[in-house]
Structure 1
Amino acid sequence: MAIVVGAEYCDPEERVLTVRKTSHFSPGDGFAAYDHRTGALAFRADTYGRGHGGGAASAGELALLGPGGEPLLTVRRRRPSLHQRWEGFLGARADGQKPLFSARRPSILGLGGAAAGAVVELLPAASAAPREPLLLRVDGSFPRRCCRVVAAPRAEGEKAKVVAEIRRKVDEAARVVMGLDVFVLKVSPGFDAAFAMGIVLVLDQIAGDDDTVDAKIW
């Protein structure tokens, strides 16, 4: 179990979310994610601190919310930064709060000596409760909605493990592939689905909707 936001978001079975981009004014302007099994709203991201939306995030921040509007994660770009770098905070970020995770577009040589699109690192817990280190990479192209989030091996002899996957949404009835504004997020058993959605927000900020940009590593 990779509990980051909460155990309630770590399903023992694979969880499939249909994610819909709800606004197209700029990258990250809004998302709604629906549970494939129930059709119910699971997450939404539509409060960005522009003087509206309830104040769940300050200017320049993105808030991942639960279905009832409760803040689960706050993501913001770190400035100044040599490379594009983001930080994620648990809930609605407070002054002085330690980040939960960091994400960055690495330099030319990334993990394994290959060009990297995004690297996400779960940071040590600020509380006394220990947290296992977790390093994730993004393999594929988020703008084309075809990529995987892979956990790096934690010990010698272990293999890298796919913890989430983003794919184009297919309308089975019509047998057509839907547009880029609707896609599927598959979350592996035991991995935190709220954390996976937080990674989606960061990827959208890094890549936007420019389908000419690939995020390839390893």
Structure 2
Amino acid sequence: MAGNANMKPIISKMFCSSSKVVLVVRRRPHMVSGGGFVVTDCSQKVVFRVDGCGVLGKKEELILSEGDGEPLLLIRRKGGLVEALSINKQWKGYSFNYEGSRKSVFSLKEPKACFAKKQPIRISVDQREYSNSEDFEIKGHFPDRECSIVNSRGDIIAQVGVMKEVEKLMASKDLYYVAVTPGIDQAFVFGVIAILDYIFDGSTRC
């Protein structure tokens, strides 16, 4: 798994590690706190939480928080005429600053159903520090928990998979891992994972 240890943080350098990090995603049932999922480390400490529309009361809106509940990202799908005329559905991730105001951090373009086979899912970072050459793309199939986020050079920055011993015990994909490359912003990665969960009828949907 190739990476860029000098990559600038997208959400915060707090979430960038100098070594590879493997985190586990556990989906919450819809009836427990309205759905969503939690992300834990090897000691089972909760690192991130994602709340879906069952908690927020709004469709196509998600919140990524730290383990202690401090919000990091508000994620929304954009609508309107521009999207209606586009071949893509667009999602936006907004970070919260200390005053509570929001800033656009990244965009994800989800191809509409009739274009899904020809158009990959692409992510671009909405910051001056990044150029279009550092956009990202989803490779593989998220519903099977076999996919990766790659940069424009084809390097894998995060890999989604199912542990074989778990797969034998569980037919569902409610428990899976995400391996994040050194230097990569883990909060950004799980912001993208939250959108993929919603797109593919995951626990974040109502």
TM-score (norm 1): 0.74
Q: 1:22 aligns with which of 28, 40, 60?
A: 28
1:49 Cα deviation (Å)? Answer: 7.6
Distance 2:120 2:162 in 1: 19
**Contact (CA 8 Å) 1:50, 1:59: kept in 2 or not?**
no
Q: Which runs of 5+ in 2 are unaligned?
A: 1-5
- Provide the rounded CA distance (Å) in 2 between the counterparts of 1:187 and 1:132: 20
State the match for 2:121 in structure 1.
Answer: 118
Percent identity of the aligned residues? Answer: 27
Q: Cα deviation per residue 1:1-43 (whole Å; 9 max; x = unaligned)?
A: 3311111110111110110111247xx930100012x221110
Question: Map of 1:122-133 to 2, 5 A cutoff?
Answer: 122-125=125-128, 131-133=129-131
The answer on 1:4 being equivalent to 2:6 is no
1:44 match: 49
d(CA) in 2 for partners of 1:42 and 1:105?
27
Q: Which has the higher helix share?
A: 2
On the 8 A contact 1:16/1:35 being kept in 2, the answer is: yes
Q: What does residue range 60-139 of structure 1 map to in structure 2 within 5 Å?
A: 60-80=60-80, 81=83, 82=86, 83-91=88-96, 97-106=102-111, 115-125=118-128, 131-133=129-131, 134-139=134-139
Q: How many correspondences in the alignment? A: 184
The structure-2 alpha-carbon separation of the partners of 1:89 and 1:51, relative to structure 1 and needing over 3 Å to count, comes to closer
Amino acid at match of 1:132: Y
Report the Cα offset of residue 47 of structure 1: 5.6
SS in 2 for 1:171: helix
CA pair 51-14 structure 1, distance change in 2 beyond 3 A: closer
String of CA shifts for 1:53-96, please: whole Å, max 9, x gaps. Answer: xxxxx77421101011000111000012132110001128x998
Deviation at 1:51, TM superposition (A): 5.7
Query: Could you tell me which amino acid in structure 2 is paired with residue 164 of structure 1?
Result: A
Runs of 4+, deviation exceeding 6 Å: 107-110
The aligned residue for residue 171 of structure 1 is 165
SS in 2 for 1:164: strand
1:138–1:59 distance in 2 versus 1, CA, 3 Å:
closer
Query: Cα distance 1:42–1:98, how it changes in 2: closer, same or farther (>3 A)?
Result: closer
Name the SS for the 1:16 alignment partner: strand
> Is the contact between residue 64 and residue 72 of structure 1 (CA under 8 Å) also seen in structure 2?
yes
Tell me the residue number matched to 2:3: none
* Corresponding residue SS for 1:176: helix
Who is 1:32 aligned against? 38
